[in-house]
Amino acid sequence: MTQVDFYVLPGEAEQQREQFACRLAEKAYRLGHRIFIHTRSAEQTRHLDDLLWTFQQSSFVPHSIYQDAGDAPPPVVLAHDAEPQAGYQVLINLADDVPLFFSHFERVAELVNGDGAIRESGRSRYGFYKERGYLLRTHEISK
């Protein structure tokens, strides 16, 4: 069964959630996982595509926008309007809703911060998973 981890970040900036998504993707990549980052919009997808190249000077996270990935996609792909094919273990969800395909993953990472709308949609997603009996863990992130 899919394990769902909620990462509760301090502050209200969307940039912080996106930076944390990059750090989480890098960590999962270094552990040998394939990662799908589900964004809320085409604009956020493009922004994260750029951010994954620049969020840390010393890091390298091979990635692509899902529709541009071709026949041999890199370990990290991003999209807001696509369902990934099999083979991805980790879903990082930045959208406001639960993606219908979440159960295809071993792990789901939900990123929540202090922004009222983001926190409220996070509570809704938490309730969704809990009602269905998924294993939930919460991590309070201090920086």
- Give the CATH number for residue 40: 3.40.50.10110
Range of the domain at 54: 3-140
State the Cα–Cα distance between residues 96 and 38, nearest whole angstrom.
10
Please state, as a whole number, how many other Cβ atoms lie within 10 Å of the Cβ of residue 75.
Answer: 20
Domain count, the chain: 1
- Quick one: pLDDT at residue 69? 80
- Quick one: pLDDT at residue 104? 95
Specify the pTM: 0.96
> For 28-33, what is the mean pLDDT?
97
- Quick one: pLDDT at residue 86? 86
> For 3-26, what is the mean pLDDT?
96
**Higher pLDDT, residue 57 or 88:** 88
Lowest model confidence (mean pLDDT) among 3-7, 31-35, 80-84: 80-84
